[in-house]
Structure 1
């Protein structure tokens, strides 16, 4: 009955208790596969600046065969730092495609962090050289940490991590986070850090190129996270002309990702590697780039996973939501 309808709420603490990295990886893998197979749709992205200084966006999509429909309202509010809060904010809503009624509202911050890290891990699994031993990461924030964490999970020989900060200063908390898991060192020479690394991860606000194009050696793989809005970038001019480019969604990457700066660059969607539609065919001297803009299907498959688990375990709040 309509008067018996319920709305499930899953807050920050409940999400963090339910999120399991291995399960998130499988959900993200499914999202990319559904996209490749044409079963999962990604709708046009909304991404707009606000007079408050924030950026507000909506990513939405569906999987009609699975009755999966929803969106993530998210963005970046830098002033939150002054309030002692996280500048990235996200809320996910799952909707019943038969009625249009909301089914579940979920705090999306931890989901966004984890699903982006999982996507980065899949990119490394599919594209980085298996014998990679060294990594350079630009940034030391939440996303930089989760990207490095997944890199350590999937690259068995990875043992050296160099990090570069915006202000050129050491970040003791970043080093402590990975203490005992790898050799961590701060680098003040950006180009040298890139040249000496097998894998490069860029996880910054995307304010401009982070290093020179000639610093990238043959055989390097790059996961690029920070360019997710028109005008943002982390890679230098000319680099995309030298690389084999992989994206999560071709249209979205050309609109808001690194690919916006060279939209005519040939690219392959990562889902096509997962489904086997196209081979990675990576050669030892190839420079590969994974332009990670984040697609709605990642959020929806992970949100569905959490919704199901929360209902099974009672790890959520249920409200009467009659109509």
Structure 2
């Protein structure tokens, strides 16, 4: 069995690697060649932590495994990322363990890649202003991945804790883009693409905030009760997701579904657009929304790339079990 450390993953995996792997998972899921198993995610009653498992099997790429981990809100004070996870890969032919791969960096990369895939396939070609709602650890990954998909001319941002917006400003500067902190009203009025990446349990963006033609990548809601945008805004959009059952149970669509504003049939797997089975955006004025709930198959795909690359480059630790 191979062991691939966090540091090795950071040195090996690029945004292009992440995009290609995640795009392939979307396609495989939509074609029925890959599927996720039910998610287990629970509060453990200690350190305010959420802990769980995401797992699945991608027959198209021969990847089987699980990601174990969760969210520890006090970690940042300890100099650690709040999200902690490890990916385990198994041989689908024998069930033997193949690799144990650090999952923190890969989780950040695959989450950003998922929203980037949605931007590539759903945002207007002439999108020029990127709006960021949230300025936590994941926000920098999101901005960098998004910037590769359109010729953005400006980044605008909002965060419930304004003192954290310097993180967005610094990342935008790295990308050669001007940044401005704005109100939610201005963000909704000016942004062509909006990424929400918070841990909110109450709606931040409302229907009145968002203008026609915007693409929303809602990436923070992955647990029962979480919410970043109002149910009425979800209902007003053309909806896409990574996995429909997760969208209506733990994703951004859960609240609109519970209120009877949408039905599952209105939500399209993004992989159907990737595969060409669905046209995606149908008009310049359409509001499109990608509900990124986070699927284990994406973690497994990127961990498989990391394990193969580390093995080939002699950077993996090999254990004989």
Is TM > 0.5 for Structure 1 vs Structure 2? yes
Residue 60 of structure 1 pairs with residue 55 of structure 2: yes
CA distance in 2, matches of 1:27, 1:170: 31
CA distance in 1, matches of 2:166, 2:71: 25
Selected match of 1:230 from 224, 232, 235: 224
Q: Using a 3 Å threshold, how does the CA distance of structure 1 residues 150 and 65 change in structure 2: closer, same or farther?
A: closer
The two structures have a TM-score, normalised by structure 2, of 0.94
Residue 194 of structure 1 pairs with residue 188 of structure 2: yes
Residues 169-318 of structure 1 correspond to what in structure 2 (within 5 A)?
Answer: 169=163, 171-179=165-173, 181-187=176-182, 189-263=183-257, 264-265=262-263, 266-318=266-318
Quote the offset at 1:201 in angstroms.
Answer: 0.8
Residue 75 of structure 1 pairs with residue 64 of structure 2: no
CA distance in 2, matches of 1:281, 1:18: 34
Stretches of 4+ aligned residues off by more than 6 angstroms: none
Residue 129 of structure 1 pairs with residue 158 of structure 2: no
Partner of 2:204, secondary structure, is coil
CA distance in 1, matches of 2:159, 2:237: 25
Quote the offset at 1:123 in angstroms.
Answer: 0.4
Answer with 236-245 or 173-182: which moved more. 173-182
CA distance in 2, matches of 1:171, 1:67: 41
Quote the offset at 1:100 in angstroms.
Answer: 2.3
The structure with the largest alpha-carbon Rg is 1
CA distance in 2, matches of 1:202, 1:70: 29
CA distance in 1, matches of 2:61, 2:145: 28
| Alpha-carbon contact 1:170-1:186 (below 8 Å) kept | no
| Alpha-carbon contact 1:191-1:212 (below 8 Å) kept | no
User: Could you report, residue by residue, the CA deviation over 1:75-122 in whole angstroms, capped at 9, with x for unpaired residues?
Assistant: 101121232211101110001223322110001011011111111111
Partner of 2:283, secondary structure, is coil
| Alpha-carbon contact 2:281-2:288 (below 8 Å) kept | no
Selected match of 1:102 from 91, 94, 97: 97
The total of aligned residue pairs comes to 313
User: Could you report, residue by residue, the CA deviation over 1:115-143 in whole angstroms, capped at 9, with x for unpaired residues?
Assistant: 11111111001111110111211111221
CA distance in 1, matches of 2:281, 2:157: 29
Residue 148 of structure 1 pairs with residue 108 of structure 2: no
| Alpha-carbon contact 2:135-2:164 (below 8 Å) kept | no
Quote the offset at 1:198 in angstroms.
Answer: 0.9
**Structure 1 residues not aligned, in runs of 5+:** 1-6
| Alpha-carbon contact 2:155-2:172 (below 8 Å) kept | no
Per the alignment, residue 3 of structure 1 pairs with: none
Q: Using a 3 Å threshold, how does the CA distance of structure 1 residues 278 and 79 change in structure 2: closer, same or farther?
A: same
The two structures have a TM-score, normalised by structure 1, of 0.93
Quote the offset at 1:234 in angstroms.
Answer: 0.1
| Alpha-carbon contact 1:127-1:282 (below 8 Å) kept | no
CA distance in 2, matches of 1:126, 1:42: 23
CA distance in 2, matches of 1:281, 1:129: 8
| Alpha-carbon contact 2:28-2:60 (below 8 Å) kept | no
**Structure 2 residues not aligned, in runs of 5+:** none
CA distance in 1, matches of 2:299, 2:163: 34
| Alpha-carbon contact 2:140-2:167 (below 8 Å) kept | no
Quote the offset at 1:204 in angstroms.
Answer: 0.5
Partner of 2:201, secondary structure, is coil
